[in-house]
Amino acid sequence: MTISINEMTGDTARLVAGLEAKCFSDPWPYESFINTLANEHAQYYTIHRDYAFVGYIGMYNLIDEVSIINVAIEPAYRGTGYGRMLMERAEDFAKNHGCPMITLEVRESNTPARRLYEVCGYQAYAVQKNYYTNPKEDAVLYRKAVNRLGMRN
Ligand X SMILES: CC(C)(COP(=O)(O)OP(=O)(O)OC[C@H]1O[C@@H](n2cnc3c(N)ncnc32)[C@H](O)[C@@H]1OP(=O)(O)O)[C@@H](O)C(=O)NCCC(=O)NCCS
Closer Cβ to ligand X, 99 or 139, answer by number: 139
Closer Cβ to ligand X, 52 or 149, answer by number: 52
Question: What count of other Cβ atoms lies within 10 Å of the Cβ of residue 28?
Answer: 17
Residues forming contacts to ligand X in the complex (CB under 6 A) are 23, 70-73, 78-84, 106, 110-113, 115-116, 119
Is 77 a catalytic site residue?
A: no
Closest contact distance (angstroms) between CB of 150 and ligand X is 28
Of 105, 122, 132, 142, which residue is the catalytic one?
105
Is 117 a catalytic site residue?
A: yes
Sheet holding 3-7, edge to edge: 3-7, 42-49, 52-61, 66-73, 101-107, 137-145, 123-132
DSSP string, 87-135: HHHHHHHHHHTT--EEEEEEETT-HHHHHHHHHTT-EEEEEEEEEETTT
CA dihedral 81, 135, 33, 47 (to 10 degrees): 10
Report the residue closest to ligand X, judged by CB: 83
Closest contact distance (angstroms) between CB of 24 and ligand X is 7
Closest contact distance (angstroms) between CB of 122 and ligand X is 11
Q: Which residues are identified as catalytic?
A: 105, 117
